Amino acid sequence: MKKTSTRLADGRELIYYDLRDDTVRDAVDRRPLDRTVTTSEVRRDVLLGDSVAIASHRQGRTYHPPADECPLCPSQGERLSEIPDSSYDAVVFENRFPSLAGDSGRCEVVCFTSDHNASFADLTEEQVRLVLDAWTDRTSELSHLPSVEQVFCFENRGAEIGVTLGHPHGQIYAYPFTTPRTALTLRSVAAHKEATGGENLFDAVLERELADERVVLEGEHWVAFVPYAAHWPYEVHLYPKRRVPDLLGLDEDARSEFPQVYLELLRRFDRIFGEGEPLTPYIAAWHQAPFGALEEFEGVSRDDFALHLELFTIRRTPGKLKFLAGSESGMNVFINDIRPEAAAERLREVASS
Supply the residues annotated as catalytic.
Answer: 169
User: CB within 8 A of 78, min separation 6: which ones?
Assistant: none
CB 19 within 8 A of CB 113: no
CB 110 within 8 A of CB 142: no
CB 53 within 8 A of CB 104: yes
What does residue 27 show for φ and ψ, rounded to 5 degrees?
-65, 140
Q: Is the dihedral of CA 147, 153, 155, 161 positive or negative?
A: negative
Q: How far apart are CA 344 and CA 216, in angstroms?
A: 6
Q: Which long-range contacts (CB under 8 A, 24 or more apart) does 182-185 make?
A: 182/150, 182/287, 182/289, 182/290, 183/296, 183/297, 185/287, 185/305
Q: How far apart are CA 109 and CA 112, in angstroms?
A: 10
Strand ranges (DSSP E) for the chain? 2-7, 13-18, 41-45, 50-54, 90-94, 106-111, 150-157, 169-175, 215-218, 222-225, 234-240, 282-287, 308-313, 315-317, 320-321
CB 148 within 8 A of CB 174: yes
Alpha helix segments (H runs only) across the chain: 125-143, 180-195, 201-210, 252-269, 331, 340-349
CB 289 within 8 A of CB 246: yes
Q: Is the dihedral of CA 322, 324, 327, 332 positive or negative?
A: positive
